[in-house]
Chains A and B, each alone.
Chain A
Amino acid sequence: MEILYILIPLGLLVLGVAIWGFIWAVRTGQFDDMEGPAYRILMDDDDIRIPTRHPENTPKQQDSKK
């Protein structure tokens, strides 16, 4: 059980890193927009690299019917 004397302080160190990381995230505005980034990752500029998207047979957009 002596190992705990090392492991627990190590845990504290990790805790410190986690807290620092969190404060960094708050400071740099990572929590300012909680919704947008989830979508942002889906929309990127890699269209050309996706083989299925040719100008001719673009699938019909469903929202145009709304």
Chain B
Amino acid sequence: MTGNEEQSCFHCGLPVPKNSSYSVTIDGKEQAMCCPGCQAVANAIVDGGLTSFYQHRTETSPTARAAVPEVLDQLTLYDKPELQKTFVSTDEKNVKQAALILEGIVCAACVWLNERHISALPGVIEFRVNYSTHRARVRWDESQIKLSDILQAISAIGYLAHPFDAGRQEAVYKKERSNALKRLAIAGLGAVQVMMLAVALYAGDYSGMDAGLENFMRWVSLFIATPVVFYSARSFFSSAWRDLKAHQLGMDVPVSLAIGMAYAASCWATVTRSGEVYFDSVTMFTFFLLAGRFLEMGARQKAGQAAEELVKLLPAMATRITAEGDETVAVTELAIGDKVRIKPGDSIPADGIIVEGRSSIDESLLTGESHPLAKTIEENVIGGTVNIESPLVVEVKKVGEDTVLASIQRLLDRAQTEKPSIAKTADRVAAYFVGFLLVLVSAVYFWWWQHEPDQAFWIALSLLVVTCPCALSLATPAAMTAATGSLTRLGVLTTRGHALETLAKVTHIVFDKTGTLTKGRLALESMNVFTDIKKQQSINIAAALELGSEHPVAKVFLQQASTPNEMIAEKIEAISGLGVTGIINGIQYRLGCASYVEAIDNISTNLKDNPQHTTEIYLADEKNILAVFFLSDELREEAVETIQSLKVLGKEVWLVSGDNEAAVSYVAGQVGISNSRHSMKPQDKLDVIQELQSNGEIVAMVGDGVNDAPVLATAQVSVAMGSGTQLAQASADMVLLSEHLPHLVDAMKMAKRSVNIVHQNLAWALGYNLLALPLASMGYVAPWMAAIGMSASSLVVVLNALRLNKSVDV
């Protein structure tokens, strides 16, 4: 089984390292595994009798991390009552309930696996995973099982669960959603019924109908339309009232006016047995408008949940140093001035300043910088970042709402409430239009009242109905919602309203290098050995020295080393930012950058034939340099194709990076970008973009790090990578969740199409109104024609927008 070349791990799909011998018997067949983590997970799945997971899954699972005992120990802290206070609710005696965020869910089979595995635990009463939100709700009997056991069981099958406080946002969302659904349902069902009766009434108008029956049908329509107007359409009335109180003419003003007047007039007509009824139009509008708002709300909530997920970056517990010794407290209990101890591998609980120790900090979650930063006393650390090397004592400076993480969340929240500028224009136009319309309707009514008093009311009403700016108000949101929806399905999340619109007009696309065009992950490109040592052997030595380190360089060696690695290093000592030393079989080895190895050993590391775009790591024993490793950042496979397609679309592509010249020009050459700038600080990047902008160009920036965040905010439209930093994602208008660069091209095409459709819609709506207005004022439009015209124009707009829902590649 292990002799085959190019074997991939049955569980996670990564290549199985040579000489490894992990395997699991699944459904009677031996399957190779890449690492002990995957093996343990697969074993747990087999033991649980859940192997049909492998049949049903549509994506390979994420690589399982070998369970570290300390991490499992930490989970037991979740059993502490003071911590549970924030996220656990007690239903009845011993029965508790908590909400979890699940990491690692890639397909529906994962949901099944989790539900089956956890529900089977004794004491678990209910375990439900929501596939759309990747959240789970668990109810358990405290007397039989502990929360930490449940969390451990989840990690045993290769997923990670974080408890979170669901009450905050989830409850609000759920209420908003179910209210919207109820309104929508009542409007929809009502509209169907009323329209059915309306067809009969129109037919009756044409070929004659029994007066009693007609009257009966009108009353029934009135009966059905009443809840639609007073319940479903209430939100329009209340927001119109809000607008009026603020002395504005928003889109909801004409909408409510049209709904209200048409309803009132129809009621009048029903009671007095005269004129025409418009219950069908009233209910249909309400339904269409509500449907549009419901879809909009869905997109907004999805983005909001992404923001909520940020919370889990903060550890739930912290170790506080008090006079009586260390105590474990919930992060929410930390106060400014508290001193907390942070073990290597732990997240920092709050923003603060280091008062003891020195270590390197992985800020990649916030900055995207793949190299950890060395930090020492008096330096600031940010909550949510990870301490890597040695223990630290940090004095807390900011907690809760004041932390960097919280400010990012606020940024996201604000970003989500923005409206596309084209929609704003439509609203402004509509406001003038409404004002103009109201004046006109009054004038027309007055004129007809003097000439033909009988007709005056009906003509004024026809005018109001026929010119209802519903189509105008639907034009942009319908198209944008449809486009946003189909992009989200591709894995491109649009977080800001204007993004699509601007993306369609972009002339220049500026890429960041690390993490955007490349994977942002180091890989061993080549190596040289200088003595008779074997290549694999030197990798094994390096891996032994780096064992247990979180440094990205360490991961390269640990991946490449043969398993099991017979080299075992003792007395490992890491010098932050320079290298690591340790003793293997009595020989002291050093691994690190040139200056580190040279300084101690007095050996020259001067080399000629090194590839210039790489990072060099040297391995030396007490006397000689044994090997040099060239590490480089791997290019994304689809990068070349994407740049080509963007060029075909007529966009100019730039590469702007903080990296050195050699690395940047190497990547630029690989993907075929001729305009590249290197060694750019964030300020320089900003200057480049502003210079382009001052020439009237519209710039899209694609990046991932926090150093990109200001640039992302400056560019007219910005795209952050899904694996990028939260700060970058917060400043970006769109997030490429799929990490698949060609989707950027799809998004561009989609943006172009949706802007076209918005223009078509606006042209249609305005054209229709301009045509109908004079006709209706002159009394040529019968009320029933007005109703059909108005409905048809809205319908055309919606159907036109729905064309965007089709596959993006068309």
Contacts and interface: CB of A to CB of B under 8 A. Distances in A.
Interface in B110-141: 111-112, 116, 129-133
Contacts of A65: 8
A66 B182 CA distance: 43
B700 to A, nearest CB: 31
A63 B185 contact: no
Interface in A25-66: 26-27, 31-36, 38-40, 42-43, 45, 47, 55-56, 58, 61, 63-66
B56 A42 contact: yes
Given A33-B132, A36-B131, A40-B108, A1 B52 contact: no
Nearest to B179: A26
Given A23-B182, A39-B111, A15 B130 contact: no
Contacts of B649: none
Interface stretch (B216-224, B462-470, B755-763): B216-224
A33 B131 contact: yes
B189 A26 contact: no
B674 to A, nearest CB: 35
Given A12-B223, A33-B130, A35-B132, A61 B28 contact: no
A58 B189 contact: no
Contacts of B223: 12
Contact of B52 (A9, A23, A47, A64): A47
A32 B175 CA distance: 11
B220 A8 contact: yes
Nearest to A16: B189
B687 to A, nearest CB: 44
B629 to A, nearest CB: 29
Contact of A18 (B54, B177, B182, B189): B189
A63 B53 CA distance: 12
Contacts, number: 100
Interface in B39-90: 52, 54-60
Contacts of B59: 63, 66
A36 B132 contact: yes
Given A19-B189, A55-B28, A61 B178 contact: no
Interface string B170-189: 00001001100110011001
Contacts of B216: 4-5, 8
Contact of A36 (B116, B129, B189, B224): B129
Q: Contact residue range for chain A? A: 35 or more
Nearest to B54: A61
B608 interface: no
Given A36-B130, A43-B109, A58-B29, A26 B182 contact: yes
Contacts of B116: 45
B103 interface: no
Contacts of B210: 1
B193 A11 contact: yes
Contacts of B130: 32-33, 36
B450 to A, nearest CB: 42
A43 B52 contact: yes
Nearest to B186: A19
Interface of B: 8, 10, 13, 27-29, 31, 52, 54-60, 107-109, 111-112, 116, 129-133, 174, 177-178, 181-182, 185-186, 189-190, 193, 197, 210, 213, 216-217, 220, 223-224
Interface of A: 1, 4-5, 8-9, 11-12, 15, 18-19, 22-23, 26-27, 31-36, 38-40, 42-43, 45, 47, 55-56, 58, 61, 63-66
15 contacts: A4-B216, A5-B213, A8-B217, A9-B220, A15-B190, A22-B185, A26-B182, A32-B130, A36-B131, A39-B109, A39-B112, A39-B131, A43-B108, A63-B60, A66-B8
Given A4-B216, A32-B130, A43-B108, 15 more contacts: A8-B216, A12-B193, A15-B190, A19-B189, A23-B182, A23-B185, A26-B182, A33-B130, A36-B132, A43-B109, A43-B112, A56-B28, A58-B28, A64-B54, A66-B60
